[in-house]
Each structure stands twice: as structure tokens, then as C-alpha cells.
């Protein structure tokens, strides 16, 4: 079986083979699988960046102007990281279908990745966070079972039938001790549901905490925590969230920023629109005007640059920040322009941003994810 994996330190996706052998309980005739059929929302590529960041060099100019793809590359990477976490869960669920999970059971297997013995157990009627779940699937690294976290690699809570609803919590260090040896504290969680109160066909919330910090000189924007929502209605996908970066430094040396963002994309036409704020990670506010207007990219950059160089020529500064006007508009090639819509498709998406609000930065900075 193959699934994708989420590498915390490098923020890279690759293949992850989980199972090679198992010893099951006494077999019974197979019934219909009880596993959820879906567990994630796909996000248009116009709003994400791949590991190779192919869009970074698009739309360059020879003028002394901050490039649009440089402004938004980190945002697109954050969204891609969140989507990769949900893809891991979806592919994981698809992979374990080979074991015909159709009832309460328990068995052991040897991980092909780290050669360690894992245990898989399915329980029924499990309470968690005030909800009674039909099923809980838990995978544990057997040799780590006495550790504080119980050696849990994954817990999947879900209800049988439709609409699909579930929670997945994953610690990849226990899933693959070799590949994720440098990220012992990294945990992510996916909350997924269909037909929710917000009116989307499907929606997911991604929470990531405990990512190891990179060297600030090498990677000043390394993610420590991330919280992101994505909702899909037809071809439209709305996204909002925050990413906390304790290493992030700007022109004056001010440290620890959140990337607070809202975005909307069209999957059919592969276009997108995004608006970003850069509030301090210590800011305690969930007010949209504060997060995205007061702390807009343009305002924060302008303030930082003016503070660092009080006598800067304002015309040069305006030219430098020309691409920082909000919102930013994208297609499959990357950033197009900022501020003014390039067409009716983008105008429709831009209007959707007004109903989206990022999370509170101080809460995202303190995010902690735990198993049951």
C-alpha cells in the first residue's frame, strides 16, 4: 500500500508505505467496508505551491519592485502543507482498505518504512469531545506504547453512513521513526464533514502543531503551527487560516508574525484570489478589519521599511510595493496582479473574501493538538 506523507521539517510530500505483514484475529466473512469513503477537500492549484515552487519565477520584471510571487509564495506553501496533511489521511484510509476493515478488530503489522511493529485496533461507540463516534481506529507504535503519548501514530474517529463526518489525528514520528526522526513533536489533525451548517458540500479544518523550527538564517518563515479551513461548494473552494512563524523577521528585526489569510479559488478554471495580513503572533484579535486591513501586507511592509529607513523616497517605496495591493489575483501560472481584478471570474471570487475571516493569531500561536 502507498500513501503520501507529510514531512514536517522540510514541508515536502512523498510516498509512504505503511504495511507489509499482519497477523489478524480469527477471520470472519467480509462485509462492506466501514471506512469513510472521503476525508478531505482538494484545493485549486492556483492557491497552492508545490515542493518545487515552480511559480516563484513567473511574472518577473526588471524593475525594482517586490515581486508578486515572492509576496505570496509562502501563503501558497502554507495552503499546500495543509492540503498535504489531509491528502495523507485520505490516502491512508484508501490504503488500509486492503485489510477489509468491516468490523471491530485488532492486529499487528510491521511497518515497511521503519521496520517497527505497529498495532491497529478498531473500537465502536467511542466518546470524544462531547460526541459519540461510531468507530475509532488507532494505530500504535508498539515499542512506544509506554511513552506519554502512548506511541499513537494515528487516531481516526468517524460515523458510519452519510453525511460523512470524522476527525483524524496523526503523529508521523510514530508512523515512521526513520523518516520523521527530526520531528518527534509534530502532530496534525483533520476535522472533516459534509453537509455542514456553513453551506458547503464538504469542509475540512487542518490543525498542525509542533513542527521543528528551521535555522532562522536559512528559513525565517518556517512554520511552527498552522490552522486552516477549506470549504468546497461545486467548483468553488474557500480557504482561510493562520500560520505562526516565530522565526519570521522583517526589515526592523521585528519577530514572530502570523500569516493571516483568506482565499477563494475556482477548481474548473484554476484561478484564485487571496488577501493576507501579517499581524504579530501575540495579537489577540479575531476582527477581520484588524487582521487583514490594519495589518495588510502593504501596511506592514510600508511601516517596517519606513521605520528602518526614515528618509526613504516615497515614490521609490510606492513602486517597490506596487504588487502588495490587496487582494492578489492568481492563475495556474502564479501571481497575476494585485488590487485590480483582471476579469469577471476573479471579481466573483474576490467578493467571496469579504465573508471569510482568519483565526485569532494568539490562539494559533499557542495551538496544541492531543490524542484521546
Model pLDDT for residues 138-192, shown as the tens digit of each residue: 999 999 999 999 999 999 999 988 899 999 999 989 988 998 888 888 899 999 9
Q: Let me know if residue 208 belongs to a domain.
A: yes
Structural domain span for residue 340: 3-22+32-365
Over residues 235-258, mean pLDDT: 86
- Cβ neighbors of 228 (< 8 A, separation 6 or more) are 78, 79, 82, 205, 206, 239, 240, 241, 242, 243
Counting the structural domains of the chain, the total is: 1
> In Å, how far are 7, 142, 153, 154, 364 from 117, measured between CA atoms?
21, 6, 12, 14, 34
Task: Give the pLDDT of residue 158.
Answer: 95
* Any domain includes 27: no
pLDDT of residue 283: 96
Question: How many angstroms separate the Cα of 294 from the Cα of each of 100, 290, 300, 356, 365?
Answer: 53, 5, 8, 16, 19
**Does residue 371 lie within any of the structural domains?**
no
Q: What is the pLDDT of residue 170?
A: 93
Q: Is the pLDDT of residue 52 over 90?
A: no
Q: Report whether pLDDT(55) > 70.
A: no
Residue 217: predicted pLDDT: 54
Identify the residue whose cell numbers are 477471520.
27
H-run or E-run covering 92 = helix 68-96
Distance separating alpha carbons of residues 4 and 221, to the nearest angstrom: 24
Q: How many helices (H) and strands (E) does the chain have?
A: 7, 16
Alpha carbons 124 and 136: distance in angstroms, whole number: 6
Average pLDDT of the residues of the chain: 84
* Confidence band for 94, pLDDT divided at 50, 70 and 90: confident
Reported in sequence order, the residue ranges of 217-367 that DSSP labels E, i.e. its strands, are 225-233, 236-249, 255-266, 271-277, 328-331, 334-338
Answer whether residue 93 is part of any domain.
Answer: yes
CA distance 33 to 103: 8
Q: Which of 243, 292, 228 is nearest to 74 (CA)?
A: 243
CB 111 within 8 A of CB 36: no
Q: What is the chain's percent helix, strand, coil content, to nearest 5? A: 25, 35, 45
Q: How many CB atoms are closer than 10 A to CB 52?
A: 8
Residue 276 located in a structural domain: yes
How far does the chain reach from its first CA to its final CA, in angstroms? 27
Burial class (CB in 10 A: 0-12, 13-18, 19+), 172: buried
Distance between CA atoms of residues 263 and 304, nearest Å: 25
Q: Domain for residue 372, yes or no?
A: no
Amino acid at each position: 500500500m502507498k500513501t503520501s506523507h507529510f514531512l514536517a521539517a522540510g514541508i515536502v510530500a512523498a510516498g509512504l508505505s505503511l504495511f507489509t505483514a499482519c497477523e489478524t484475529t480469527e477471520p470472519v466473512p467480509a462485509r462492506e467496508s466501514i471506512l469513510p469513503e472521503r476525508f478531505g477537500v482538494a484545493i485549486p492549484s492556483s492557491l497552492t505551491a508545490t515542493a518545487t515552487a515552480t511559480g516563484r519565477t513567473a511574472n518577473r520584471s526588471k524593475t525594482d519592485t517586490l515581486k508578486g510571487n515572492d509576496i505570496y509564495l509562502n501563503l501558497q506553501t502554507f495552503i499546500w502543507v495543509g492540503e498535504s496533511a489531509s491528502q495523507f489521511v485520505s490516502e491512508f484510509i484508501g490504503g488500509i482498505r486492503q485489510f477489509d476493515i468491516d468490523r471491530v478488530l485488532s492486529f499487528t503489522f510491521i511497518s515497511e518504512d521503519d521496520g517497527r511493529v505497529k498495532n491497529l485496533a478498531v473500537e465502536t461507540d467511542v466518546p470524544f469531545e462531547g460526541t459519540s463516534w461510531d468507530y475509532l481506529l488507532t494505530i500504535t507504535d508498539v515499542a512506544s506504547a509506554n511513552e506519554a503519548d502512548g506511541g499513537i501514530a494515528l487516531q481516526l474517529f468517524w460515523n458510519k453512513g452519510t453525511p460523512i463526518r470524522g476527525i483524524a489525528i496523526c503523529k508521523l514520528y510514530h508512523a515512521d521513526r526513520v523518516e520523521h526522526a527530526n520531528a518527534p513533536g509534530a502532530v496534525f489533525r483533520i476535522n472533516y464533514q459534509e453537509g455542514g451548517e456553513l453551506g458547503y458540500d464538504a469542509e475540512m479544518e487542518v490543525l498542525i502543531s509542533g513542527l521543528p523550527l528551521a535555522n532562522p538564517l536559512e528559513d525565517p518563515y518556517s512554520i511552527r503551527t498552522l490552522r486552516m479551513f477549506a470549504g468546497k461548494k461545486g467548483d468553488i473552494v474557500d480557504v482561510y487560516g493562520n500560520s505562526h512563524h516565530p522565526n519570521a523577521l522583517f526589515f526592523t528585526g521585528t519577530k514572530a508574525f502570523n500569516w493571516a489569510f483568506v482565499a477563494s479559488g475556482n477548481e474548473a478554471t484554476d484561478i484564485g484570489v487571496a488577501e493576507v495580513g501579517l499581524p504579530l503572533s501575540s495579537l489577540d484579535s479575531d476582527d477581520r478589519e484588524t487582521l487583514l486591513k490594519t495589518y495588510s501586507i502593504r501596511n506592514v511592509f510600508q511601516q517596517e521599511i519606513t521605520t528602518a529607513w526614515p528618509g526613504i523616497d516615497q515614490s521609490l517605496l510606492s513602486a517597490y510595493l506596487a504588487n502588495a495591493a490587496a487582494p492578489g489575483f492568481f492563475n495556474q501560472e502564479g501571481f497575476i496582479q494585485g488590487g485590480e481584478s483582471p476579469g469577471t471570474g476573479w471579481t466573483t471570487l474576490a467578493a467571496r473574501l469579504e465573508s471569510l475571516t482568519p483565526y485569532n493569531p494568539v490562539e494559533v500561536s499557542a495551538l496544541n493538538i492531543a490524542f484521546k
